[in-house]
C-alpha cells in the first residue's frame, strides 16, 4: 500500500510539471476524530477514536473560482459501540460473541475516493478562502475490534464489515500562497456516512468524522 501511495505521488508530481493552469494538485494529512451513530438503542455509540487520514487531491478549474475535486486517500476511521445484547462477529471463519453490556472499539481502514465541487474566493493579500462539498465512495481494506479487557485484541472482522461505504463531506478552509502556484492549505472538514458500516442485523451503524485539513498545494 505504501508503494502504491508513493508511486501515485511521484506520478502526480511529474504531471504537475506539465499541467496547464486549470489543474492543481495537493497532498494532505488530516488529524481527525471519528465516531458512530446508530438507529437502535441496543447498539449505542460509546466514544470516539483519533486517527489520521492521508491523501492526494486534484482540482480541475472549469471556471476561475470553480473546480471539480477528485481525490485518493487512506482513511482511518472507527469508534466505540456498546452492545446491550450479545452480538456476533465473524473473524476468519470463527464466531466471536460480544457479551451484553460490552463496549467494543472498532478500527476501520478504507481506500477513499472523494469527489466534489470546490468554490474559491478571489485572493485577498496572500489568502484565498474556499468551500468544498461532495461525496466519499470508500472501499474497506481493514477492519478489527478490540476491548479494554483484551477479550478481543485486534480481531479481524472484515467478514462482518461491508466492503463498500458511501459518505458525504463539507469543508471550509484557506490557502496561503508561498510563491507561484505553491500554497499551504488549512481547514476543517465534516464527513458523515450514508450507508451501513457493519453487517450487524440489529442496527444500522453510520460513520461520522471531523478533521483538520492540512496540506500543500502545488
Tell me: the pLDDT tens digits for 56-102? 999 999 888 999 999 999 999 999 999 988 888 988 888 888 889 89
Please list the alpha-helical segments (H only) found in the chain.
Answer: 2-18
Rounded to the nearest 5°, which phi and psi values hold at 117?
A: -120, 135
Q: What is the pTM of this model?
A: 0.86
Interval 113-123: pLDDT, tens: 999 999 999 99
Give residue-wise pLDDT tens across range 120-144: 999 988 999 999 999 999 999 999 9
156 and 106 in contact (C-beta within 8 Å)?
no
Instruction: Tell me the fold of 2-217.
Output: Porin (2.40.160)
Rounded CA separation 80/92 (Å): 22
As a whole number of angstroms, the distance between CA 115 and CA 69 comes to 6
Domain boundaries, the chain: 2-217
Cα–Cα distances in Å, from 211 out to 32, 40, 41, 183, 191?
4, 26, 27, 20, 8
Q: Are strands 115-120 and 127-146 parallel, antiparallel or unpaired?
A: antiparallel
Amino acid at each position: 500500500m505504501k508503494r502504491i501511495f508513493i508511486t501515485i505521488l511521484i506520478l502526480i508530481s511529474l504531471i504537475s510539471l506539465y499541467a496547464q493552469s486549470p489543474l492543481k494538485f495537493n497532498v494532505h494529512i488530516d488529524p481527525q476524530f471519528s465516531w458512530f451513530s446508530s438507529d437502535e438503542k441496543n447498539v449505542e455509540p460509546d466514544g470516539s477514536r483519533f486517527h489520521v487520514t492521508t491523501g492526494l487531491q486534484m482540482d480541475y478549474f472549469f471556471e476561475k473560482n470553480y473546480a471539480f475535486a477528485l481525490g485518493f486517500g487512506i482513511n482511518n476511521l472507527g469508534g466505540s459501540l456498546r452492545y446491550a445484547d450479545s452480538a456476533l462477529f465473524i473473524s476468519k471463519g470463527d464466531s466471536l460473541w460480544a457479551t451484553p453490556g460490552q463496549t467494543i472499539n472498532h478500527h476501520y481502514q478504507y481506500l477513499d475516493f472523494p469527489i466534489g465541487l470546490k468554490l474559491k474566493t478571489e485572493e485577498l493579500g496572500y489568502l484565498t478562502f474556499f468551500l468544498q462539498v461532495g461525496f466519499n465512495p470508500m472501499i474497506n481494506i481493514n477492519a478489527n475490534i478490540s476491548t479494554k479487557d483484551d477479550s478481543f485484541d485486534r480481531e479481524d472482522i472484515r467478514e462482518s464489515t461491508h466492503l463498500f461505504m458511501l459518505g458525504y463531506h463539507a469543508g471550509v478552509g484557506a490557502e496561503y500562497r508561498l510563491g507561484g502556484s505553491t500554497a499551504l492549505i488549512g481547514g476543517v472538514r465534516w464527513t458523515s456516512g450514508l450507508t451501513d458500516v457493519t453487517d450487524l442485523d440489529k442496527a444500522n451503524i453510520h460513520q461520522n468524522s471531523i478533521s483538520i485539513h492540512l496540506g500543500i498545494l502545488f
